[in-house]
Structure 1
Amino acid sequence: TGYYMYIETSSPRQPGDKAVLRTPSFPQGNQAQYCVEFYYHMFGDHIGELKVFYVPTQQGSFASPMWELSGDQGDHWYLGQVTVQGDQDFYVEFEAVRGQSFRGDIAIDDVTVRNGACSDP
């Protein structure tokens, strides 16, 4: 029940177009750990990429994704998890990249950031 977010791949979208979702900022004190959990759905002939970035609030930019996946994963929802650890305030960015055609959708749902390291699902 509820809502989910997805990247629209129909025209006028082009291959490589990106959709970005940013969380609110989270405090990061004393090397605390947070678990970022989300569900993702990547289905279709021409799926692009889904990436998750840790972005320090003061820096405002990021380098390598802390989680990424590309290609068709089947018509199912899957749990994604990543543990964040650092020494400064941060936010999380989800970046979905359109594939080579409109025949492939990427969606995310139930994004949660909670205290502590992630445990195996």
Structure 2
Amino acid sequence: MTLDSTNSQSNCFRFWYHMYGSDVGTLNIYLSNSTQSRIWSLSGGRANQWYEGQVSYEINSAHQIIIEGIRGKDFMGGISVDDLTF
């Protein structure tokens, strides 16, 4: 998704995530405009419940938030993301 920010105020990206299983990989959040940088990352399993994540960032131009899920070594884990807000 592409967002257009025309002021230099802090932006906040909020989301809910679920990372459960014996072999969960990594969840990454990137900020992309002319370059791409990782602004949030979490690896490994958690309890079988949903958690709220949030990351603040400053940018005053059109940009993208990229969500990347990297699987573990086998199929015994899962990553879900829901309820994205800006």
| Corresponding position of 2:24 | 47
In 2, Cα distance between the equivalents of 1:87 and 1:34?
9
What TM-score does the superposition give when structure 2 sets the normalisation length? 0.92
* AA partner of residue 56 (structure 2): T
Question: Could you tell me how far 1:103 is from its partner in structure 2?
Answer: 0.1
Name the residue aligned to 1:80: 53
Identity of aligned residues (%): 31
Code of the aligned partner of 1:69: L
Supply the RMSD in Å over aligned alpha carbons.
1.1
AA aligned opposite 2:4: P
What is the 5 A alignment of 1:1-121?
24-56=1-33, 59=34, 61-63=35-37, 65-113=38-86
Aligned pair count reads 86
TM-aligned CA deviation for residue 70 of structure 1: 0.4
Which consecutive unaligned segments of at least 5 residues does structure 2 have? none
TM-score of the two chains, using structure 1 as the length reference: 0.67
CA distance in 1 between partners of 2:45 and 2:3 (Å)? 32
Note the alpha carbon deviations across 1:81-113, whole angstroms, 9 max, x for none.
011211321110100001010000000010111
Specify which structure has the higher proportion of strand. 2
State the distance in 1 between where 2:10 and 2:3 align. 11
User: 1:102 corresponds to which letter in structure 2?
Assistant: F
Task: Report which of the two structures shows the higher radius of gyration computed on alpha carbons.
Answer: 1
